[in-house]
Structure 1
Amino acid sequence: MTAPAQSTTVSGAAPRTAPGNAADREVKRRRVLDILDAAGRDSLLLTTHTALTWYLDGSRVHISLAGDPIAALLVDREGDHLVTFNNEAGRIAAEELPQGVSLHTVPWHGPLHATAAALAGDGNPLFESAVTAELRAARQQLLPAEAARYAQLSADAAAAMTDVLYGATPETTEFELVAGLAARIVSVGAEPLVLLCNGSGRSDFRHPLATHAPLGRRAMAVVCARRDGLVANVTRWVAFDAGTRQELDAEARIAAVEADIFRATVPGARLNDVFAEIQTAYERHGFGADQWKQHHQGGPAGYAGRDPRVTADVTDTIVLNQPFTWNPSGPGVKIEDTVLLTEGGIQVLSLDDRWPAAEVDGRRRPLTLRP
């Protein structure tokens, strides 16, 4: 197969300006004030990456991808107050601060959260951990500007997969493959939060961190890319032969499991009911009743890789314009894309028209690439 022309999509502009959309931010503030009204409180302290990037509508409040946020935000009835360290304030003010948010500083060695909490009128704000479920519900439904940003990020992540995997060979190592993916993700202004790869010698691992092993005859690659706080998730497969009958059959059956999950993902359904459908779908399509126990199944997406991972105990109700990443898997097979539940049904966001696909239940689903 001839390699396609590389995608050159680059989102955003230089120098960077805060991505926050004023109309979307007004809605988010109203949602938080509703939480305060229900709790009978006057202020809320936000401290996690997920809550901060959602409420600030895409501001980058990290330095290390593995570290805690370098900011905390107090939302009260008078306004929004962002506290950061003195050595971060210049960048935050120039590139990340949405209009209408007051910026406060604390010494780089000072107490970030305590300083933010002290800004509350009574010095005793409601803490994020007390309203985890309420905040998750507040960010379920993507607003117009963030939905557009998410669609572009998802398309960029899918394009990165196409660009890199078309250039792979059996001799390419897993590290070389994920290095190429990292470069493509960074080149479009995103951050590679997760990069996974297993060549044919390591296909039993569902979360395969890369090694120096060559890909061999068949490989899986996974990317979780973050931009403006939103996280897109994509899995793709590449093979350098025609595939065995068993492999091709398993690929078709895992796509059928996914189609059943998509049909169950409708407004008003509860996530634990979708989880029950996942369990029966594995058995229905020949993977056995216990296959769901071998790997998590995904769930709502957006400002966290999964928000949350779905289990039998998660009873959230699905709403329109909510993003998802389901990732059913079996021995040697997995399928995963970032999607949005719209009035017309499931819309796959992480599509690249250059990638080979087959129609499954009325939508294009990725096949294994054979370059």
Structure 2
Amino acid sequence: MLSRMSPHSAGNALADRAVKTSRITDILEGRGLDAVRLTSGEALSWLFDGARTSVPVGGAAVFSASVGRDGQVRVRALRNEAERLAAEELPGADIDVVDWFAPLDAVEPGEAAESVISAELRAARASLLPSEVQRFRALGADAAAALTEALSGAHPDETETALAGRLASAVYARGAEPVVVLVAGAARSGVQHPVPTAHRLGRRAMAVVTAKRHGLHASATRWVRFGGAEPEAAARIREVEAEAWAATRPGRTLADVLSDIAAAYAQHGFGPDAWLRHHQGGPTGYAGRDPKAAPTSRERVDVDQAFAWNPWAPGAKAEDTALVGAEGIQALTIDPAWPTVAVRGMARPAELDLG
């Protein structure tokens, strides 16, 4: 067994972990369960103060954790990962070391699999603690600054992959991981998820990033053009986004919010079925979308919960990560250096014209 305190922020990590462990034990009490085996990256990173849970970005977790109704937490970690985890990711955790080929998700007698209480766990991590909000604000600012840095140097003859590489580098330079990087030049502006290609940017381009740090995900989209005017659809998609934020009120279900978003597409001239052409986003935090909002989503909007809506139409998309605070919506992925337009009193990113 290994147990080692991390030299950084150990006290805050343990205090937050106590709050989160209490939320889990409340779930176990309510379900009449003795313990649960956490195996997903989002649950583990949430519980362990933003620990990096995998080796490949977005890969399977290299440890699991059992949380008992008595509040005891024990980690099961692979032998080739345990020392690093104890030193760098899991301050104060009790770690049971297993062979690198041992199953991390094996459920012991008296334990329930995470899937049994997955809905309750998602609700438990929805409302962010003050330390998490602080980290999210810093991450959002860095993600927005990375987009500004990468796009400010763009030019029409540059390839999508070149821009994507510069964006990923800017995110890494800020101590975060680029878990999603998308780029669309003018020829591919109608692609919902434009995985970068060797196409040239042309006269107009879009870049999308999701940056991850301390387990949190901040997503944002920006557009750049090289002369000419912003297309009329861009302003209308920002109006759809405004309707999305207006609909995101504590206590409402995601299904109710999504219904308002769907209606907003028709209201702003995109047609009644336009919302079906791309997912619209949803809550974010320890997963990129936690979950994606769907017509059947019964999860409710919580105070101090982060959201990233991403209304889309061919050649137009708006996306930022924002916090649903007690006093309204607070955008997190904003860079003061990027041009903005006012949409219903909220500063929203405009297209950057590099003419």
TM-score (norm 2): 0.95
Q: How far apart are 1:243 and its partner, in Å? A: 2.1
Amino acid at match of 2:326: E
Q: Distance in 1 between matches of 2:130 and 2:136?
A: 10
Q: How far apart are 1:18 and its partner, in Å? A: 6.2
1:25 aligns to 2:25 (yes or no):
no
Residues 172 and 267 of structure 1: CA distance in aligned 2, closer, same or farther (over 3 Å): same
Q: Distance in 1 between matches of 2:284 and 2:115?
A: 20
Which residue of the other structure, out of 144, 150, 166, is the alignment partner of 2:152? 166
CA contact (8 A) 1:43 1:74 kept: yes
Output aligned runs, 1:1-371, within 5 Å: 21-76=13-68, 77-99=70-92, 101-114=93-106, 117-118=107-108, 123-243=109-229, 247=231, 249-371=232-354
Q: How far apart are 1:78 and its partner, in Å? A: 4.7
Amino acid at match of 1:56: F
CA contact (8 A) 2:58 2:179 kept: no
Q: Partner of 2:105: helix, strand, or coil? A: helix
Residues 340 and 19 of structure 1: CA distance in aligned 2, closer, same or farther (over 3 Å): farther
Amino acid at match of 2:84: R
Q: Partner of 2:51: helix, strand, or coil? A: coil
CA contact (8 A) 1:296 1:309 kept: yes
Q: Distance in 2 between matches of 1:78 and 1:206?
A: 44
Q: Distance in 2 between matches of 1:109 and 1:29?
A: 28
Residues 15 and 207 of structure 1: CA distance in aligned 2, closer, same or farther (over 3 Å): farther
Q: How far apart are 1:169 and its partner, in Å? A: 0.6
TM-score (norm 1): 0.91
Runs of at least 4 residues off by over 4 Å: 14-20
Q: How far apart are 1:143 and its partner, in Å? A: 0.4
List gaps (5 residues or longer) in structure 2: 1-5
Q: Distance in 2 between matches of 1:103 and 1:146?
A: 24
Residues 19 and 180 of structure 1: CA distance in aligned 2, closer, same or farther (over 3 Å): farther
Q: How far apart are 1:340 and its partner, in Å? A: 0.1
CA contact (8 A) 1:268 1:319 kept: yes
CA contact (8 A) 1:17 1:95 kept: no
Identity of aligned residues (%): 46
Amino acid at match of 1:353: P
Q: Distance in 2 between matches of 1:333 and 1:164?
A: 20
Deviates most, 347-356 or 71-80: 71-80
CA contact (8 A) 1:83 1:106 kept: yes
**Deviation readout 1:63-90 (Å, 9 max, x if unpaired):** 0124210000000115110111111111
The aligned length equals 348
CA contact (8 A) 1:169 1:215 kept: yes
Q: Distance in 1 between matches of 2:157 and 2:7?
A: 40
Q: How far apart are 1:141 and its partner, in Å? A: 0.2
**Deviation readout 1:51-74 (Å, 9 max, x if unpaired):** 110111201111012421000000
Q: Distance in 2 between matches of 1:19 and 1:358?
A: 42
Q: Distance in 1 between matches of 2:333 and 2:279?
A: 20
**Deviation readout 1:260-288 (Å, 9 max, x if unpaired):** 11111111111111011011100000111
Q: Distance in 1 between matches of 2:97 and 2:269?
A: 58
Amino acid at match of 2:27: I
Q: Distance in 2 between matches of 1:285 and 1:110?
A: 55
Q: Corresponding residue for 2:3?
A: none
CA contact (8 A) 1:82 1:104 kept: yes
CA contact (8 A) 2:39 2:104 kept: no
What is the aligned-residue RMSD (CA, Å)? 1.5
Q: Partner of 1:61: helix, strand, or coil? A: coil
Amino acid at match of 1:81: R
Q: Distance in 2 between matches of 1:340 and 1:166?
A: 27
Q: Distance in 1 between matches of 2:28 and 2:195?
A: 42
Q: Distance in 1 between matches of 2:262 and 2:103?
A: 46
Q: How far apart are 1:190 and its partner, in Å? A: 1.1
List gaps (5 residues or longer) in structure 1: 1-13
